[in-house]
Structure 1
């Protein structure tokens, strides 16, 4: 039956409705004669209408098509359609009266009024019956969704009661952790323990699980949902009563705790002061301007009132975003904001941009920095981080740039991963150029993890908490140095302004922070508790995944440990050996050959030979509690 209905076109369905409406005319006439007191029998009266019946049917057909009644869909047959049917019945009754008068039939005027009323009732009733028949056909042909209700409390029972008469949903059982309810029959359904879910799914052909526990914390609901989804079940959760009436709208407006609140020390707020003189009135280029560090560099450089700020960025979306934000900051000023979409590995573009905009200061923050991604893609990582730095630094020197500041990383010290090794090689390149070009001040600033940067640990933990956990930490012994983005950038600009050439500046980042402690703080700041052996009823687990390839337990800030103080108490200068010009040329030549041949082993051999302390550490695990 359903297949037949589906084969009918809209026009064919209209003809069916028209045929039914026309067939109702003699039926309505007969019923009218039954309820009327006439001197003849109903069948005899109907026989009297034989001369006019063809004309009446033809008139009704014309009126129906004119009013568009056959085109009205069953599921759209509501007040307006009923009104059209009433007009149609009235006009049809008028046609019967006119035709009866022309043929001089022995029917009083009241007969035609009654006919109109009865015909209207029959037409509306027939539409209602047809709708129910069609819906019954569709319902019988459509498979029912069999659902398991997780939670046999008040909400669960109300849900089961509401679903019982539903046409396409069939509740089959309850599941509840409460042992006192297990084995009972509630709302006509058995209550089973969660351990029986696989059995129930198989025996009762369950398609979906409805979580009817709105009072349960979101992490625990997420954990249950994830467990059920692994069984191949679709899981849906009922909102709480507070959500239904809008009382929880405030929750949507609450922001996660700011990353700097997990610093474990007071953030250092540095006044740039005289350092601004190195940037004021000059054209400044920031590479990687759309990144976390790059965008903050742009904001703080703007506070120094440069003549021009060139935003150099590889990612179109990142460049668009930072340009939109900074455009508002420079409104009403004479600062020229220039967005440039390009790669620092392109020497022709780099040279043109530096020359066209007369750049005097370069802040080089462009780098591939995510350790696991660079470890999995070593050649692109080396090409971007090493040769991108070389290209930008060399062209900066040749076009008369006054200052070149490389943003480096603590992972460059005795690195155990490709990302760290690439940053150390970038440092060696900059140190070499510092000895060969006197007119450009080359320097680098080395620091550790930045709280809140893209891909860093706190946003990662907060995202895992929002999904119900677990929060993943690679090793319980892992420690990291942390700074806020603001204080790191302030110190980079301060150090860059004080540089005389060739220095490796190291920022004082305080004591390293245990990542396990940080994970607990993030969970507790969200209002949840840690679930462990001592607190089995906690909300969120902390899962140890194992060190990833190339990951250290602790990072270092210097190779030798020999630091010299500067005018600022948070900035130190490291005494470290550098390679000769011939050695740097050899390194770059060997690395270029490895990249040209797409030879990862050859590239690692170059790193092993020339990067002091480089060693590849094996590790396991995937997602972990460490920023890149």
Structure 2
């Protein structure tokens, strides 16, 4: 049962009284050969005033306000100051009451008082932590630097985890003890995990590169111990997160590719002091573009979004960012609208005198567009056309289309519509005599987007599985949303009108390998025929309609390097505007009359490289009508 604070303070005072009496007694015993008491009354006065004066000083110094379990070096300084004062007080009282005690006795009293009063507190703290640690989860901290030590201190003061060992590759720290915790070599980690019963490994490497973190995570993956990490250095410096706010390992750490710092000049070129519009502003890519854009201090940012909730969410977040970073002078305009209505988007661009457009509005989920072909074509192809024509009419300076790797030799309707969107802009670039410059940026999957497998896997693991993977050989390119958004902004500043830019996504990743890593780093084991007692099963559900095993970023091998190491320009087939116009008329007629078979035939004839993975039509309404 927990004692009330006044009771604990009273106990501390009583302990200190006994410590002072014991120190004085010891001083007398050590000085017995020369010590004499001239008067019992005088001696009683010395003891009484010594106790009263010493306790009063300790109270004044705040010693009894300190919580014993959190006692630190600072508290020891208070005890030292109090012990020195008590020793000087004893010297004065001996003189005042005419009591003889040699100097060695006075020194012995001071040292013993310091030892007993300070030692009792550290002993009580050690006993408390030992008792509490037995109830805590034993953890290993990987990283014995500043972050690791701060984390260990925070966990020692907490109620959940007990750091029992530190790991560091710095040989000068190995075989030492920090904060009472031994530091070991990384090669000793497997033995330590087993021998000490480690249940979690906490990465305290907030400033380490992703390449370093990937190497460490790969070495820990086989241990089947849950791995968590401290927040990034930026989050801690900004005060957004504390060091002991542990997070699950981010999947981008497993990719091992460090982002290239954005070029400030390229980031600002078409944003600083300009009016910028983002379509699909509430989506995964659109919202991140908005976050990056406001940090570059535009004159105004127009949010164009059909989802009311998505628009509300990003507007509120952007206003908080502007307030937090003191980005005064930026106006946010939240506009509800669809890109399929040219008059609406044109009126918005003209009314706000938009200068830069980032067109992120699109349907991107492969199976859903397979099931809703007309809406996929309407939103992705015609939505891009209407928005681009509106930009030309409003004399917009730059129009950037967010494209996808699925536009390369597409096997699905979604990828085909995005390739058609590229052809539309390339045709407009040839026809256009205005100042509007068109650019297209093509990249693969982004981590954490609405359609990403990462949040799906995480949810499935939390629910105990199974984790569903479509095919054991399926691979994808991955990039973080912030990195993709920064590269999109920078790519838009490069090249001539009608250019298609491709982002360097690094090496493709097998989805099943990603699932395995996420399971292992959650401290779980994969259930299989070889390990029937495992925790999480991986189930292969089969490729979805329109899905292909491997994605590509380039149609051909003809690429041109750009000013940025992660951006290159693709040299690919383009149509002139009359040919694009004929294609749009055919698509429009098929969509209006809901002739899905004809729509599919047009997509197959179009110069997109569309090669569907299935022979049948997957549109749900068409299938019902056929029945």
Q: TM-score range by the shorter chain?
A: 0.5 to 0.7
The size of the alignment, in residue pairs, is 372
Deviation, structure 1 residue 552: 0.9
Deviation, structure 1 residue 619: 10
Residues 1:275 and 2:267 are matched in the alignment: yes
| 1:490-501 superposed matches below 5 A | 490-501=486-497
Task: Show the counterpart of 1:420.
Answer: 415
Q: Aligned to 1:518, which of 514, 520, 537?
A: 514
- Inter-CA distance 361–514: structure 2 relative to 1 (3 Å threshold): same
Per-residue deviation, residues 127-185 of structure 1 (Å, max 9, x unmatched): xxxxxxxxxxxxxxxxxxxxxxxxxxxxxxxxxxxxxxxxxxxxxxxxxxxxxxxxxxx
CA distance in 2, matches of 1:532, 1:459: 23
- Say whether the 8 Å CA contact 1:548–1:618 is kept in structure 2: no
Deviation, structure 1 residue 478: 0.7
CA distance in 2, matches of 1:274, 1:255: 33
- Say whether the 8 Å CA contact 1:354–1:399 is kept in structure 2: yes
SS at match of 2:418: helix
CA distance in 2, matches of 1:544, 1:558: 28
Deviation, structure 1 residue 429: 0.5
CA distance in 1, matches of 2:268, 2:491: 11
CA distance in 2, matches of 1:434, 1:492: 19
CA distance in 1, matches of 2:487, 2:561: 14
Residues 1:338 and 2:330 are matched in the alignment: no
SS at match of 1:266: coil
Q: Aligned to 1:563, which of 549, 559, 564?
A: 559
Residues 1:298 and 2:290 are matched in the alignment: yes
CA distance in 1, matches of 2:322, 2:293: 12
Task: Show the counterpart of 1:450.
Answer: 446
Q: Aligned to 1:590, which of 586, 591, 599?
A: 586
Q: Aligned to 1:610, which of 597, 603, 606?
A: 606
SS at match of 1:262: helix
Per-residue deviation, residues 432-482 of structure 1 (Å, max 9, x unmatched): 111122411101000000011112010011111111111111111111111
Task: Show the counterpart of 1:359.
Answer: 354
Task: Show the counterpart of 1:378.
Answer: 373
- Say whether the 8 Å CA contact 2:430–2:576 is kept in structure 1: no
Residues 1:369 and 2:354 are matched in the alignment: no
Deviation, structure 1 residue 583: 1.1
SS at match of 2:549: coil
CA distance in 2, matches of 1:343, 1:538: 48
- Say whether the 8 Å CA contact 1:312–1:340 is kept in structure 2: yes
Per-residue deviation, residues 332-357 of structure 1 (Å, max 9, x unmatched): 51001000011011111111100000
CA distance in 2, matches of 1:589, 1:543: 44
CA distance in 2, matches of 1:371, 1:262: 25
Residues 1:284 and 2:292 are matched in the alignment: no
- Say whether the 8 Å CA contact 2:266–2:489 is kept in structure 1: no
Task: Show the counterpart of 2:321.
Answer: 329
- Say whether the 8 Å CA contact 1:547–1:619 is kept in structure 2: no
Deviation, structure 1 residue 330: 2.1
Task: Show the counterpart of 2:26.
Answer: none
- Inter-CA distance 519–281: structure 2 relative to 1 (3 Å threshold): same
Q: How large is the Cα RMSD of the aligned pairs?
A: 2.1
| Segment drifting more, 505-514 vs 257-266 | 257-266
Per-residue deviation, residues 199-244 of structure 1 (Å, max 9, x unmatched): xxxxxxxxxxxxxxxxxx9xxxxxxxxxxxxxxxxxxxxxxxxxxx
Deviation, structure 1 residue 255: 4.5
Deviation, structure 1 residue 562: 1.3
- Say whether the 8 Å CA contact 1:550–1:619 is kept in structure 2: no
- Say whether the 8 Å CA contact 1:275–1:498 is kept in structure 2: no
Deviation, structure 1 residue 269: 3.4
CA distance in 2, matches of 1:330, 1:350: 26
CA distance in 1, matches of 2:600, 2:246: 47
Deviation, structure 1 residue 601: 1.2
- Kindly name which structure, 1 or 2, has the bigger radius of gyration based on alpha carbons: 1
- Say whether the 8 Å CA contact 2:439–2:497 is kept in structure 1: yes
| 1:197-276 superposed matches below 5 A | 255-276=247-268
- Say whether the 8 Å CA contact 1:448–1:482 is kept in structure 2: yes
CA distance in 2, matches of 1:313, 1:336: 17
Q: Aligned to 2:306, which of 300, 314, 337?
A: 314
Deviation, structure 1 residue 315: 0.5
CA distance in 2, matches of 1:534, 1:264: 30
Deviation, structure 1 residue 590: 0.4
- Say whether the 8 Å CA contact 1:483–1:509 is kept in structure 2: yes
CA distance in 1, matches of 2:416, 2:251: 28
SS at match of 1:475: coil
Residues 1:409 and 2:409 are matched in the alignment: no
- Inter-CA distance 351–523: structure 2 relative to 1 (3 Å threshold): same
Task: Show the counterpart of 1:390.
Answer: 385
- Inter-CA distance 427–471: structure 2 relative to 1 (3 Å threshold): same
Q: What TM-score results when the alignment is normalised by the length of structure 2?
A: 0.58
Q: Extract unaligned runs of 5+ from structure 2.
A: 1-198, 200-244, 619-627
Per-residue deviation, residues 39-67 of structure 1 (Å, max 9, x unmatched): xxxxxxxxxxxxxxxxxxxxxxxxxxxxx
Task: Show the counterpart of 1:541.
Answer: 537
- Say whether the 8 Å CA contact 2:431–2:576 is kept in structure 1: no
Deviation, structure 1 residue 259: 3.4
CA distance in 2, matches of 1:274, 1:418: 34
Task: Show the counterpart of 1:467.
Answer: 463
| 1:135-214 superposed matches below 5 A | none
- Inter-CA distance 302–619: structure 2 relative to 1 (3 Å threshold): farther
- Say whether the 8 Å CA contact 1:608–1:615 is kept in structure 2: yes
Per-residue deviation, residues 567-601 of structure 1 (Å, max 9, x unmatched): 11110000101112121011100000011011111
Per-residue deviation, residues 413-436 of structure 1 (Å, max 9, x unmatched): 010001100100100011111112
Task: Show the counterpart of 2:343.
Answer: 348
SS at match of 2:492: helix
CA distance in 2, matches of 1:268, 1:619: 43
